[in-house]
Structure 1
Amino acid sequence: MRRLGGLLGSRATVSTSKSLTALDEPAALQDAMASAAHIMNDDVELAETELSKGSSPFHKLGLSTALFLRAVLGFEKEVMEKAHACLMDAEEVASEHQRRAIRDPSKAHQSKIYNPGAEYALCHAESQLMSAVVAVLNESLTESLKGFYKLRKAFTTLHDISEQERRYLERTGKGAASSQASVVTSSSSVGGQETPAQSSGVLTPADSSEEEDEDDFVDAQESSPAPDTSPPVYQGDLDGRSMEKLSLEDTVTNKLNSSMAPNGAASDSNAAVAKADQDIDFRTITSDPIDLFIHSGTALCFGLLQVLLSMIPPAFAKLLSLFSFRGDREAGLRMLWSASKFKHNINGAMAGLITLGFYNGAVAFCDILGKGAVPETRLHDLLREMRDLYPGSKLWLLEEARMLGADKQVEKAIEIVGQGQDSGLKQVNALRVFERSLNCMYAHRYEECAQGFIECVGMNSWSHGMYYYLAGACYVELYRLHNESDAKLAEGYAAMAEEYLHIVPQHVGKKGFMGRQLPFDTFVGRKIKKWDHRAEKWHCKFVDAVGVSPVAEMSYFWSGFRRMNASQLQTSLERLAWSEDVGRNPHWEQEAADEKATLALLRATCFRFRGEIPQAKGTIAEGVLSHDLAEIKACDLPDTWPLPVAHYELAVCYWDQAGRESGDRATLQKCSDELLKVEKWESFELEARVGLKITTGRETLRKCGVVSS
């Protein structure tokens, strides 16, 4: 019999009737949360089995979450279809329970904070959010637009719940600053009207009616003793409060707010609000498990939405503006940190995973960041606590490896991600192999890197073209390394490079995003055509027609140079030097302008990460910006990305040269102006990978009081 803490001392008997009574509800929530906890321990099958036994909205939501996690970790179409069907069922059940609670409030859960049925509204909104993500990952443009419409409706619901919470806290004077609705320091618009600073911080659509449940779209054609790996139980009243305060009161967030604010008054205000958010525990406001579920779930979902919307690249943001969305990253992160305090339940555990993923993934890719933008102490504490609570999950090993990579400890990252037995979740195993392979690429362990990506082909169906391309790129590098010392070995590597790279076209174009081919597929498809064309034009082997190191190029787009130590950066420079060594590469003299620009851009990036800013700037000016766009476009199957990306790299150089946020204002202005040039540039390949960095850089500069001229 599974242990249950908090509200119930033993496993609850859950009503199997379609409608829950107020008495049934806590038991149903308790059982669903205890079962869903297995998800965070990589035992999704057990979670699905247990959750399938219940019919409440909480069980439906938990089951949908399990399938959703499988879908987003693996991007497998059949899993996404199954998740979509489950999410539709969860939406329907939650909507029906909410309607019943509204029709007869006397039979619904009685909350002093939220309106009758708010818990079901939250379940409905969470299901809509997950459904929206699945729809956007779908290859259909129509389905993607449906997803944005659901996102809009979920946004409205979450905003309404957060406003209920804010009004209660204001009415009772019970620490309004702790509410996710009130921690926002910027104003927002709701239905086109300005609202006070304590509102959600997000531009939300006009309120829609409670009965608006149908989509207005029509489908178009188209090494220690083994730890106890059982997950923690859901604590309805969360008695174990002392543990939650072990480390999450870190004041790094306060430092971040104060260091990035444009003036002293704003700095003090931001720090005060952030501190209030950290000091006040919502569990001191209420001990009702339903209310705590609503609070933590709203903080998770609203926080995630605000963070995601704040990260949208400039080009994509234009589409979202049609749906009236605007994010607030600081507000969103405060909400996620707040939700992570409830790490014993699925909302808090997911918030912790998302928070770690945001900093170790998205932020770790960015260059223009203020001091304290990554709260390292707080993140390490959160990771440790999550590993203690969910020791069976390998997701936390992935996050630890990413932290090590961000600290330029790639070799340790390779070691940590391979520790222990395989996860019970195959999608997590695929992620581990993929992460290890990327780190092997940054460590110049090309053989292991290639083998790892080939292994990914058998583990994940999302992007075989990418896996084969990355493996082939490694074999190109191995061919170049051994071509002079061991001709026979080199020929073997050449054959493997040609084999895998020519497999790539068979696998590109089969996956899509919003009805369009994936940008990476477009990129690698063109590269293979370019090298075939050059081999025919130059009357040489295919492998000899490959241009500037494709491994270095991939390292750039995956932010690998940021993870390299000094020795690894030196090796990258040596691999780049092969291109213009006429003794080893007889074709350099006839190379086109786009390849020369690519070489200069990659070399300059290595210089920048070595701290050689003047040399990086000079290389960009002489080797990249000396070419104009017309000259680049005149090349055969050209690489046009180095020109706009050079302006981004120059912006980062100015940022570093200025001394970052507290530095010379004129130099920071140059940084801003260079970012503006990239923002105004025409569309180019893989621009989304640079777009996130630009969005983050622009936000950082804005907080410094620097805007485009």
Structure 2
Amino acid sequence: MSRLGSWFKAAAPKSSAAPSPAASQVDLTAHEIAMMEDAMASAALIMNDDIDGAEEALRKGSSTFHHLAQSLCIFMRSVLGFEKSIMVEASNRLNDCETMAWNDMKKAQKDAGGTTPAPGRIYPPGSEYALILAEAQLMSAVVAVLHESLTEGIKGFYKLRKAFVTLDGLMQAEEAYMKSRGLRANGSKVSVQSQSEKQPDRPTDDGADDDSSDLEFVDASEAQTGPKSPLTYEGRLSKDIDPEKKLAELSLNGNSNSAPPNKPNAQSNGFRSGPDSDIFSNPVDIFIHSGTNMCFGVLLLIISMVPPAFSRLLSIIGFRGDRERGVQMLWRSTEFNNINGGVAGLMLFAYYNGLLGFSDILPNDEDIRKGAIVGYPRERCANLLAKMRMLFPESGLWRLEEARMLSNKKDLHGAIKVLKSNAASKMRQVTALNSFELSLDSMYVQDYPEMRDNFLRCVELNDWSHALYYYLAGCAELENYRDAFHAGKDEAAIRTHKKKAEDLFKKAPTVVGKKKFMAKPLPFEQFVSRKLQKWQERAKALGVDLADAAGVSPAEEMTYLWNGTKKMGTADLERSTRMLSWDRLTAPEKARASIRAETDERAVQDVCMAAVLRNLGKHDEARKILQEVMAIDRAVFKGTTKDDYPPAAAHYEMAVLSWIGVQNPGLREAAPASGTTPAGDCTGTPQREEEWRRKKLDECQAWLDTLSRWEPFILDARFGMRINTGLDTIRWYRKEHGWATE
């Protein structure tokens, strides 16, 4: 990656082709807007799974806007596919984009005679290029961190810091403008309620509600100026809107009655209409506003999600995440039908369907209706998905998100149906993501032939972690072997499944370490390597084959680590209790007893079983099992082949059980007699309910605080994201109930 000094080299790429210097300022501005709108309209094709079409259209332009959009194309290819050669190309193109944006920004500032906003303009001169510079730096940082080089990763954090400062400056300029117009601002949460006594010439928003406008822009329906954007965005959810019906009206293959043509025009892409168009009426201001909210929202959200130990390090160098503000900014960006809004939508779905899909300590649906920003707003997400599906009907990304939403509603079979219909995309990277999601969902419903086949397809489609794919395919084949073994009727099937499982397990270690994250092995690949080494040593010690040396169901263990139990229905959970039985082992009785005697192996089974029981509503049984795990000396879990995560996982599960108590004060009835609330006191007064909630909330926080200071273990980052989400939820809950301790 180029050094910072390369920005100033004479050989830097030339900036946008523009009218002659003799042209009027009006002509220059019109040319800039035309280039911006053309580039962003072409870039919108990316959101429709047409990166090739986007790149072809963008090659016709030479402006910095076109170069940014071309960089976005290669960036999307690199982060969706995790292919090193594409990452190198992305880095080079993004460096060129940074140089062009820097040159254009300085030229705009020079032509304007400084950095003071012109009368009537929101942002300082050159802000559109400052945004492009920040976007390029942000993308460069992501690519650098995904590189296998620690040096590149460090450079990436430096660029991340620069982008952070630039975006913060743009937000401050916007807030200063709002204040100068008599409008109230609070971070990125701006109220645009008219101050009629200060600005009598400004029209008021009919029917605007004072209370709701304190936190967000006053919602305005977007004028539909053509057939390219057929869906009207409703802003805040109305009780009359049925998001499920909206999604049902969209066919599984993505076709709609009014599919947009290949290249939407600028008006339908959010440059001529949008929320608060009386304020953000200039196309350049709209570009900056939607782009800054998207980029800064991404930054704040990502920083808020890093593991606790790493977040403390980031705070030392000036990075502080803000999940609530980041999420609000991303939602604001989605109100514009341009590429910025599309990327913001993808990030929101990655957050809600990804991170929150792995998390358990979250506000409930009632809290969401009251405005809890840290929770999962199902209806709002359904509306956003319906909007994106209509705007970009050919994209498999949105159908993938539809499937993930279904799985988060415990409709795994519905999700699988959508994923199977979405198996072919114009983008190989999207097909790979779809196949991986289908593999996971097949694992959760214990469809092991499908699980095996889809993980093996991931090997063909994606270069990210072949070791993990082979291991998971082997786990599926191991369950097929165990089914055949205990059925005992088909010796040929038993031998076939056993050999396939062993072949896959033996293949995994041969590709471990080919992918790294900032010069370190991927955590799950380390996990796979240790697990297989453990089985190989056990097989040798017990005199059994590799497939027979496996312990508690590795497929169920992976289901727990991906928190698939949260998505499973009752029938699937009940089946999991049987799959976790020691009777599933295929080793001889003496060897089976030896495997079961291993402390860390029992702890793995206990943690997995506790999660299943918790999701079945058997909280007391789950708690009893977890207490047994926590009573074990942690030193037992240390060793080169030991499973080191069960003690931390047990603490996390206890935190989740405490949170369930917070949200269900009726559980006081079954509380042990040793608790502060007498057992059997089911006539609880509001005061006693509050005491109970506060007690359970304190317990939940105590478990999470302990975990946030936990010593490193292989999968600590995976639990770290859940811990941060839980702590954010607790902070919100304390604030909501006036129990804040900060």
- What TM-score does the superposition give when structure 2 sets the normalisation length? 0.79
Given the superposition, is the C-alpha separation of residues 672 and 558 from structure 1 closer, same or farther in structure 2, using an over 3 Å criterion? same
Paired position in structure 1 for 2:128: 119
- Give the C-alpha shift of residue 364 in structure 1: 1.5
Give distance in 1, aligned partners of 2:461 and 2:269. Answer: 41
1:470 aligns with 2:472: yes
1:104 aligns with 2:111: yes
Query: C-alpha deviations, 1:38-79, integer Å up to 9, x for none?
Result: 111000001011112211111111111111111111111111
Paired position in structure 2 for 1:219: none
1:596 aligns with 2:589: no
Q: 1:59 aligns with which of 55, 62, 66?
A: 66
Do 1:641 and 1:684's aligned partners in 2 also have CA atoms closer than 8 Å? yes
Give distance in 2, aligned partners of 1:90 and 1:522. Answer: 37
Give distance in 2, aligned partners of 1:583 and 1:44. Answer: 51
CA RMSD of aligned residues (A): 2.7
Q: 1:351 aligns with which of 344, 351, 357?
A: 344
Find the residue that maps to 1:606 and give its secondary structure.
helix
- Quick one: which amino acid aligns to residue 54 of structure 1? G
Paired position in structure 2 for 1:11: none
Q: 2:633 aligns with which of 608, 618, 628?
A: 628
Given the superposition, is the C-alpha separation of residues 660 and 685 from structure 1 closer, same or farther in structure 2, using an over 3 Å criterion? farther
- Give the C-alpha shift of residue 239 in structure 1: 8.1
User: Unaligned 5+ residue runs, structure 1?
Assistant: 1-13, 184-197, 200-222, 245-280
Paired position in structure 1 for 2:89: 82
Given the superposition, is the C-alpha separation of residues 529 and 93 from structure 1 closer, same or farther in structure 2, using an over 3 Å criterion? same
Do 2:654 and 2:700's aligned partners in 1 also have CA atoms closer than 8 Å? yes
Give distance in 2, aligned partners of 1:119 and 1:239. Answer: 14
Q: 2:281 aligns with which of 281, 284, 287?
A: 287
Do 1:548 and 1:598's aligned partners in 2 also have CA atoms closer than 8 Å? yes
Paired position in structure 1 for 2:326: 332
- Quick one: which amino acid aligns to residue 601 of structure 1? V
1:381 aligns with 2:388: no
Given the superposition, is the C-alpha separation of residues 550 and 229 from structure 1 closer, same or farther in structure 2, using an over 3 Å criterion? farther
- Quick one: which amino acid aligns to residue 355 of structure 1? L
- Quick one: which amino acid aligns to residue 315 of structure 2? S
Give distance in 1, aligned partners of 2:151 and 2:664. Answer: 43
Given the superposition, is the C-alpha separation of residues 514 and 583 from structure 1 closer, same or farther in structure 2, using an over 3 Å criterion? closer
- Give the C-alpha shift of residue 538 in structure 1: 0.1
Query: C-alpha deviations, 1:610-656, integer Å up to 9, x for none?
Result: 1111110011112x12311122336x721111011100101111111
Do 2:444 and 2:564's aligned partners in 1 also have CA atoms closer than 8 Å? yes
1:503 aligns with 2:507: yes
Which moves more between the two structures, 668-677 or 409-418?
A: 668-677
Paired position in structure 1 for 2:428: 426
Q: 1:362 aligns with which of 333, 343, 355?
A: 355
1:47 aligns with 2:49: no
1:575 aligns with 2:574: no
Give distance in 2, aligned partners of 1:647 and 1:305. Answer: 30
1:152 aligns with 2:177: no
Paired position in structure 1 for 2:698: 669
Do 1:299 and 1:339's aligned partners in 2 also have CA atoms closer than 8 Å? yes
Aligned residue pairs, count: 619
Find the residue that maps to 1:484 and give its secondary structure.
helix
1:131 aligns with 2:137: no
Given the superposition, is the C-alpha separation of residues 407 and 608 from structure 1 closer, same or farther in structure 2, using an over 3 Å criterion? same
- Quick one: which amino acid aligns to residue 599 of structure 2? A
Given the superposition, is the C-alpha separation of residues 301 and 238 from structure 1 closer, same or farther in structure 2, using an over 3 Å criterion? closer
- Quick one: which amino acid aligns to residue 360 of structure 2? D
Given the superposition, is the C-alpha separation of residues 536 and 556 from structure 1 closer, same or farther in structure 2, using an over 3 Å criterion? same
- Quick one: which amino acid aligns to residue 599 of structure 1? Q
1:692 aligns with 2:708: no
Paired position in structure 1 for 2:205: none
Do 2:549 and 2:587's aligned partners in 1 also have CA atoms closer than 8 Å? no
Give distance in 1, aligned partners of 2:645 and 2:270. Answer: 52
Query: C-alpha deviations, 1:535-571, integer Å up to 9, x for none?
Result: 0000001101011111011111111111110000111
Do 1:99 and 1:117's aligned partners in 2 also have CA atoms closer than 8 Å? yes
Find the residue that maps to 1:378 and give its secondary structure.
helix
Do 2:406 and 2:414's aligned partners in 1 also have CA atoms closer than 8 Å? yes
Do 1:90 and 1:124's aligned partners in 2 also have CA atoms closer than 8 Å? yes
Do 1:475 and 1:494's aligned partners in 2 also have CA atoms closer than 8 Å? yes
- Give the C-alpha shift of residue 447 in structure 1: 0.6
Give distance in 1, aligned partners of 2:254 and 2:141. Answer: 42
Query: C-alpha deviations, 1:498-536, integer Å up to 9, x for none?
Result: 000110111111111111111111110111111000000
- Give the C-alpha shift of residue 138 in structure 1: 0.6
- Give the C-alpha shift of residue 667 in structure 1: 1.9
Q: 1:31 aligns with which of 15, 26, 38?
A: 38
Query: C-alpha deviations, 1:214-267, integer Å up to 9, x for none?
Result: xxxxxxxxx5895435353222894885xx7xxxxxxxxxxxxxxxxxxxxxxx
Equivalent runs, 1:540-579 vs 2, <5 Å:
540-579=544-583
Find the residue that maps to 2:461 and give its secondary structure.
coil
Do 2:423 and 2:434's aligned partners in 1 also have CA atoms closer than 8 Å? no
Give distance in 1, aligned partners of 2:91 and 2:271. Answer: 36
- Give the C-alpha shift of residue 582 in structure 1: 9.2
- What TM-score does the superposition give when structure 1 sets the normalisation length? 0.83
Find the residue that maps to 1:284 and give its secondary structure.
coil
Give distance in 1, aligned partners of 2:572 and 2:638. Answer: 33
Give distance in 2, aligned partners of 1:104 and 1:579. Answer: 78
Give distance in 2, aligned partners of 1:237 and 1:163. Answer: 26
Given the superposition, is the C-alpha separation of residues 488 and 238 from structure 1 closer, same or farther in structure 2, using an over 3 Å criterion? closer
Given the superposition, is the C-alpha separation of residues 159 and 494 from structure 1 closer, same or farther in structure 2, using an over 3 Å criterion? same
Give distance in 2, aligned partners of 1:59 and 1:351. Answer: 20
Give distance in 1, aligned partners of 2:254 and 2:548. Answer: 53
Find the residue that maps to 2:486 and give its secondary structure.
coil
Do 2:423 and 2:431's aligned partners in 1 also have CA atoms closer than 8 Å? no
Give distance in 2, aligned partners of 1:500 and 1:156. Answer: 48
Do 1:651 and 1:670's aligned partners in 2 also have CA atoms closer than 8 Å? yes
Do 2:122 and 2:285's aligned partners in 1 also have CA atoms closer than 8 Å? yes
Give distance in 1, aligned partners of 2:520 and 2:271. Answer: 50
Given the superposition, is the C-alpha separation of residues 144 and 583 from structure 1 closer, same or farther in structure 2, using an over 3 Å criterion? closer
Paired position in structure 1 for 2:266: 234
Given the superposition, is the C-alpha separation of residues 639 and 100 from structure 1 closer, same or farther in structure 2, using an over 3 Å criterion? same
Which moves more between the two structures, 128-137 or 488-497?
A: 488-497
Larger Rg: 2
Given the superposition, is the C-alpha separation of residues 581 and 148 from structure 1 closer, same or farther in structure 2, using an over 3 Å criterion? closer
1:703 aligns with 2:703: no
- Give the C-alpha shift of residue 354 in structure 1: 1.2
Percentage identity across aligned positions?
Answer: 42
- Quick one: which amino acid aligns to residue 113 of structure 1? I
Find the residue that maps to 2:267 and give its secondary structure.
coil
Give distance in 1, aligned partners of 2:661 and 2:342. Answer: 40
1:658 aligns with 2:662: yes
- Give the C-alpha shift of residue 106 in structure 1: 6.4
Give distance in 2, aligned partners of 1:421 and 1:652. Answer: 35
Do 2:552 and 2:581's aligned partners in 1 also have CA atoms closer than 8 Å? no
- Give the C-alpha shift of residue 369 in structure 1: 0.8
Paired position in structure 1 for 2:29: 22
Give distance in 1, aligned partners of 2:631 and 2:320. Answer: 38
Do 1:43 and 1:425's aligned partners in 2 also have CA atoms closer than 8 Å? yes
Which moves more between the two structures, 228-237 or 564-573?
A: 228-237
Do 1:437 and 1:449's aligned partners in 2 also have CA atoms closer than 8 Å? yes
Q: 2:651 aligns with which of 647, 650, 654?
A: 647
Paired position in structure 1 for 2:540: 536
Given the superposition, is the C-alpha separation of residues 561 and 439 from structure 1 closer, same or farther in structure 2, using an over 3 Å criterion? same
